[in-house]
Structure 1
Amino acid sequence: MGNRVICMKKKDVAIRTGGDGSRSKRVSRSQRKLLGDEEMLHRRALSMAIHQAQLSQRFDGSVSRRVGSTSSRRQTLSDPFSNNKQVPDLVDSLAVKKVVLVHGEGFGAWCWYKTVASLEECGLSPVTVDLAGSGFSMADPNSVSTLEEYSKPLIELLQNLPEEEKVILVGHSTGGACVSYALELFPEKISKAVFICATMVSDGQRPFDVFADQLGSAERFMKESQFLIHGNGKDKPATGFTFEKQHMKSLYFNQSPNKDIALSMISMRAVPLGPMMEKLSLSTERYGKGRRFYVQTLDDLALLPDVQEKLVRENSPEGVYKIKGSDHCPFFSKPQSLHKILLEIAQIP
């Protein structure tokens, strides 16, 4: 019921205006303002990304070295038209308002720029982190060899939370492994964990195992992949991997706007390999008691919908949501739908 108030489709707005011409013009001006605000946000993110790309030149193997059973709470959502002015009143009473956003492989905190703006606008408190070797992190991706090292910025953030404060923890793609790792360490600090087309693995699984149907076994990938980076020398074990740009575009951004693809192409960095190949140790007593929600992306070519459905069946989250028309990056391709889902999860008692 709450979301019907929060998010109305454009045709609903037209009906409620009663066909009044002046009202229609005001709606149009409002829409133009939203578009202008988004454009300003995008320019700011692009500026930050260019700065990051310049910084990352110092790292070998990063940007400069790139070479070629489901709950009954299941929904299918399309882009809503959000009446954001009504939202703060609805979230004022929430016990947990802080939303920590964790990016996936190759991305950084910059990828959440639309999500941050929309969550702030509705009265929540979004926080982003750059995992080690990602985004603005000064760590060389080739030096990050364990999930503990990779997740360190997130773990420090949770450790430094005031006593009794909880957060909603959101992870995208392989950032889901960091969310699971954090949920095992700090179940008392995480109110809800949200996995967005993410690696919601079981105990003893590696993040890479989720992609095995598409990339082959980990052993085969390590032996044959053309995307591996040997940051310590060709005669040493691989330290990271990255996809060439055209391959990345077709896998990750098949539904995303061109300007967000351009932003990503100059911002994404190599992915530390070690954390992706590490088996997670998850206990029933800690991780198993966490409240988990999963967001499926139905036009995803990087983590196929069938694979996501399998993850949901095998890991039984409390709630499952589906976004039509979204590629692997719903924060770009369907930001309003993603916003609506995160807002609804935040309001679940």
Structure 2
Amino acid sequence: MKKQQGLPRSSSSRPRSLTDPLVSPLQFVNQETKIEDLETNHFVLVHGGGFGAWCWYKTISLLEDAGFKVSALDLAGSGIHLFDANDITSLPQYAKPLTDFLEKLDNTKKVILVGHDFGGSCISYAMELFPAKIAKAVFLAAAMVKNGQNTLHMFSLKQDGASDLMHQAQTFLYGNGKDQPPTAIDLEKSLLRDLLFNQSPVKDIALASVSVRPIPFAPAMEKLVLTDNYESIRRFYIETRNDNAISLSVQQIMCESNPPEKIFLLKGSDHCPFFSKPQALHKLLFEIARIPPIKNAANQP
């Protein structure tokens, strides 16, 4: 595909490592930077399809050790949330744990939303509803749709071999009978490593293999309505170079079609950098948190 022009980019310069062993996150902190001086020190982590809050355990530890406040949520039918994925019939229902959290958030507080995979559509939906409570939105190898698009439309743009692997791994579930539309998508456990975790440590693959749940189908088909509320929030995209689930080319297409403020590239990362490149991901999240707010005469004293 044609190389993208005009969008500001950055990349992780860390050497490729399959394990990316954890070290003190304080090494990433500029000594002149104080967490309390940032626009917000609160990250809200939103998992992708089939995952849960459990997948962020390394990121939570690194951010909290650096002084950030972190909230990781289970969307409906995910993680330890009690709903059955086959019974979730809309995006608002699927994203309700996130919207409930933001609704209860103090009106004087703002957060940085981070959405992975299908979580990108969920944070977009939340951005439309609560623009005053969101300082920045980070799309991590995520669906970043435009008004009138749905998640499956964007994920169907695959132009390389990744689409074949995804199709092999997917099994449609029909909770309402075979004569009705699918209600959920399950992923073949034997293909998870190649599809999602091709650069991740064995222990994290083992955790995922017993924790991943079916993905509700209807929310992925639902078209988002996005207005100036969504557009008013600063967006950042983190691309994953060695991603077999959402190929780098598809991520670039989404960024070209719906340009964020800045794009970062995680080298040596599979679809799940919170497993495969936790230090590099932490460094980028910290860098995004440090970006100062844009001064606007209309809303600045």
In 2, distance between residues paired with 1:267 and 1:346?
30
Gaps of 5+ in 2: 161-167, 293-301
Deviation at 1:248, TM superposition (A): 2.0
The reply to whether residue 180 of structure 1 matches residue 124 of structure 2 is yes
What's the secondary structure of 2:176's corresponding residue?
Answer: coil
1:146-295 map, 5 Å: 146-214=90-158, 227-283=171-227, 285-295=228-238
Give the Cα separation in 1 of the matches to 2:219 and 2:25.
41
Task: Name whichever of 80-89 and 322-331 sits farther off.
Answer: 80-89
SS in 1 for 2:106: coil
Deviation larger for 123-132 or 89-98: 89-98
1:196-228, CA deviations, whole angstroms, 9 ceiling, x for partnerless residues? 000000111110111113499xxxxxxx99610
- Are 2:7 and 1:71 equivalent residues in the alignment? yes
Q: Per the alignment, do residues 189 and 241 of structure 1 end up closer, same or farther by CA in structure 2, a change over 3 Å counting?
A: same
Q: Is the 8 A contact 2:136 2:233 kept in 1?
A: yes
1:102-160 superposed Cα distances (whole Å, 9 cap, x missing partner): 00000000000000000000011010100000001011111111000000000000000
- Per the alignment, in what secondary structure is the counterpart of residue 45 of structure 2? strand
C-alpha deviation, 1:92, in angstroms: 2.7
SS at match of 1:213: coil
Distance 1:83 1:254 in 2: 25
Structure 1: how far apart are the matches of 2:182 and 2:27?
A: 50
Residues 70 and 317 in structure 1, CA contact (< 8 A), matched pair in contact too: no
Q: CA deviation at 1:77?
A: 3.2
Q: How many pairs were matched up?
A: 273
Kept after mapping to 2: 8 A contact 1:77/1:322: no
Q: Distance in 1 between matches of 2:170 and 2:194?
A: 17
Separation in structure 1 between the aligned mates of residue 158 and residue 132 of structure 2, nearest angstrom:
35
TM-score (norm 2): 0.86
Q: Larger deviation: 229-238 or 131-140?
A: 229-238
Structure ranking higher on relative contact order (CA contacts 8 Å, 6+ apart): 2
Matched-pair contact (CA < 8 Å) for 1:76–1:322: yes
CA deviation string 1:285-329 (max 9, x = no partner): 211111000000000010001111111111110111001100000
- In structure 1, how many angstroms separate the alpha carbons of the residues matched to 2:39 and 2:278? 24
Paired position in structure 2 for 1:84: 26
Aligned-partner SS, 1:269: coil
Q: Which has the larger radius of gyration?
A: 1
Q: Which residue pairs with 2:37 in the alignment?
A: 93
Shift of the 180–70 alpha-carbon distance from structure 1 to 2, 3 Å rule, reads: farther
| Pair 1:83–1:102, CA change in 2 (3 A) | closer
Q: Are 1:347 and 2:290 matched, yes or no?
A: yes
Displacement of 1:100 in angstroms is 0.1
Is contact 1:70–1:316 with CA below 8 Å preserved after alignment? no
SS in 2 for 1:328: coil
- What letter matches 1:332 in structure 2? F
Uncovered stretches (5+) of structure 1, i.e. residues with no partner: 1-68, 217-223
Identity among equivalent positions (%) equals 48
Q: Which residue of 2 aligns with 1:129?
A: 73
Question: Is contact 1:70-1:319 (8 Å) kept?
Answer: no
Does the CA-based 8 Å contact 1:70-1:320 persist in structure 2? Answer: no
In the alignment, the residues of structure 1 paired with residue 169 and residue 195 of structure 2 have an alpha-carbon distance, to the nearest angstrom, of 16
Kept in 1: contact 2:49–2:119 (CA 8 A): yes
For residue 302 of structure 1, what is the amino acid of its counterpart?
Answer: A
Amino acid at match of 2:185: F
- 1:227 and 1:86 map into 2 onto residues whose CA distance is 41
Contact 1:176–1:198 (CA under 8 A) maintained in structure 2: yes
The code of the aligned residue for 1:191 comes to A
Query: Is the contact made by 1:70 and 1:312 (CA closer than 8 Å) also made in structure 2?
Result: no
